[in-house]
Chain A
């Protein structure tokens, strides 16, 4: 148990569906992240939120829409995805203070399949 909870663990969706991934952290952290990991590829940083403000969008297509309503919750809204978007989506959090910013705590991820 890392203190970062992601739901759902698995998701299958069609290309015309709209779905949302949810992440919640119970660590009192103030930075949250979305990463994508496609099969056999390194993790890719997608979005970064610092104190609820988005500070990084790593050229992510607009069919992925993040939302951070408060420091404890992070969502990734999905719409009109493509089969190549099938991947493991990981949420992480950290304390943006001192050296703690690089000590990320990850959730178990949502395994997404787009049909």
Chain B
């Protein structure tokens, strides 16, 4: 898996967009970018993933730079319930077999009033 670098913590005001960066400068051509989050004392929750195109779902948007060396997870209107640790993971998806997904230390996002 390619190494990723995330800021240890960020703050965001409620109602504003939260932009969480991830650097993955050694990403290879067949590695995807995955984002998960973990709310305190719960299991991680899958958010979104992408290869090279920008992706959007009901939870968030993922913007991947053209050279794929970095990406940004965007929560368009952050709420207090979005306070969590956000993990950026880069890996080649295991096809037809189980994953060996590993988590780093992530970014602790604090959404405030």
| B43, B45, B95, B100 pick with most chain A CB within 10 angstroms | B43
Complex CA distance for A92 and B97, rounded to whole angstroms: 15
Q: Is A38 an interface residue (CB 8 A)?
A: no
Number of cross-chain contacts by CB at 8 Å: 86
Task: List the A side residues contacting B91 at CB < 8 Å.
Answer: 102
Complex CA distance for A103 and B94, rounded to whole angstroms: 11
Complex CA distance for A111 and B99, rounded to whole angstroms: 24
- B41–A88 contact, CB under 8 A? yes
Task: List the B side residues contacting A96 at CB < 8 Å.
Answer: 94, 96-99
**Contact A101:B41 (CB < 8 A) given known A42-B104, A96-B94:** no
Task: List the A side residues contacting B42 at CB < 8 Å.
Answer: 106, 108-109
- B45–A102 contact, CB under 8 A? no
Q: Tally chain B residues at the interface, Cβ within 8 Å.
A: 26
**Contact A94:B99 (CB < 8 A) given known A108-B42, A109-B42, A109-B43:** yes
Checking A33, A98, A106, A108 against B98 with a beta-carbon cut-off of 8 angstroms, the contacting residue is: A33
Interface SS, A side: strand
A33 CB → nearest B CB, Å: 7
- B100–A56 contact, CB under 8 A? yes
Q: Is A107 an interface residue (CB 8 A)?
A: yes
**Contact A99:B93 (CB < 8 A) given known A105-B46, A106-B45:** yes
Q: Is A112 an interface residue (CB 8 A)?
A: no
**Contact A97:B96 (CB < 8 A) given known A42-B103, A102-B91:** yes
Task: List the B side residues contacting A98 at CB < 8 Å.
Answer: 93, 95
A26-63 contacts to B (CB < 8 Å): 31-33, 42-43, 45, 48-50, 55-56
Complex CA distance for A112 and B79, rounded to whole angstroms: 30
Q: Is B34 an interface residue (CB 8 A)?
A: yes
Task: List the A side residues contacting B93 at CB < 8 Å.
Answer: 98-99, 101-102
Per-residue contact bits, chain B 82-102, to A (CB 8 Å; 1 contact, 0 not):
000000010101111111111
